[in-house]
Amino acid sequence: MAFNISVFNSCKFLAISVHRYDSTATSADIVISSIDPNITGSYTAAVTYDTSGNGNINIPVSNLSAATGGFKVCVLENKIEQACKPILLKCDIDCCLVKLTDELIDCSCDCPRCASTMAKAQKIFLLLASAQSAIEIAGDTLQSNSGYYQDILLKYKKAKEICDNSCGCDC
């Protein structure tokens, strides 16, 4: 009676696996919406259960209302919301950390520039780790998790702000 979400292929897809909540359900709708109130719209995909009550679907991130940030993923069976879970698409910030780490590898001393790069990377890393902890604590229940969602969004936005122009990967 749970569902799992994985981000793969450099944040190009969400892999969602769900086990039937309602024993009479043969399918479910997966509804994904941003937890950022400034980003509107949602994406819905249908998943069909096999005879064991399991369903799997890969959703292109390009179908979502944004390519990065925090999202709420919900499972609906027979139009009834069964469970919701937060997810963080953070490849943009991961790329920032890669660039900062590359800068640190090139540092050959404990100079002030290296110290500030290290401090910046540490802040970003800790913010993302804390946001991930909030995701784990929020779990996949229908209890009011809005505080966790706000916490995830706040930490993601702060990490993104700190990254500013320290963009790596494909930017």
Q: Measuring CA to CA, how many Å separate 135 from each of 56, 131, 147? A: 21, 6, 11
- The per-residue pLDDT for 57 is 97
What pLDDT digit, counting tens, does each position of 133-156 carry? Answer: 998 888 776 665 678 889 999 999
**Mean pLDDT across 99-111:** 82
Report whether pLDDT(169) > 60.
no
Mean pLDDT over the full length of the chain: 89
How many other C-beta atoms are found inside a 10 Å radius of the C-beta of residue 169?
13
pLDDT category at 113 given cuts 50, 70, 90 is confident
- The per-residue pLDDT for 138 is 84
Report whether pLDDT(171) > 70.
no
What pLDDT digit, counting tens, does each position of 7-16 carry? Answer: 988 889 999 9
